[in-house]
Amino acid sequence: MYRLRACMGCGLVKETRQFQKFGCNNCTFLKIHGDGDRLESCTTTNFSGLISMMKPERSWVARWQRMRPNLVPGCYAVTVQGRLGPDMINILHENQVEYIPLDQED
C-alpha cells in the first residue's frame, strides 16, 4: 500500500516516494525532493477530501477552494492538517506566491 501525502503549500497529493524523488510540481522552490526534513515539514499524511483537476485555471472548484490558477493538473486535498513554518512561508513570498493555509483554522 502506498502512503499518500499532501503538500502544505498547495495541497497537491502524491505518494511519499514521488515527493521524495521529484518534490512538489507546484512548489519547486521549497526543494522537497531528496530532503527528508523538508518532506516532513512541507507535506503531511493528515488531509481530507480530494479534488481532481485537469484544467485548474478554468476550474470553478479551484476558484471556490481559493487555489492558485497556475497549479499543475492533478489531485489536491480539500483540507490539510498543519501549516508551513515561517521559513517556508518566506520562501513562498520570495517567489511571489501567496500562502493560503488549507487547514481551515481561523
Domain boundary assignment for the chain: 4-94
Pick the CATH number of 4-94 from 3.40.50.920, 3.20.20.70, 3.30.40.210, 3.10.450.710: 3.30.40.210
> Is pLDDT above 50 for 9?
yes
User: Mean pLDDT over residues 28-32, rounded?
Assistant: 93
Give the lowest-confidence range in 20-29, 41-50, 60-69, 72-81.
60-69
User: Mean pLDDT over residues 51-72, rounded?
Assistant: 84
Contact 93, 32 (CB under 8 A): no
pLDDT of residue 46: 95
- E strand spans, the chain: 4-7, 13-15, 43-44, 47-53, 74-80
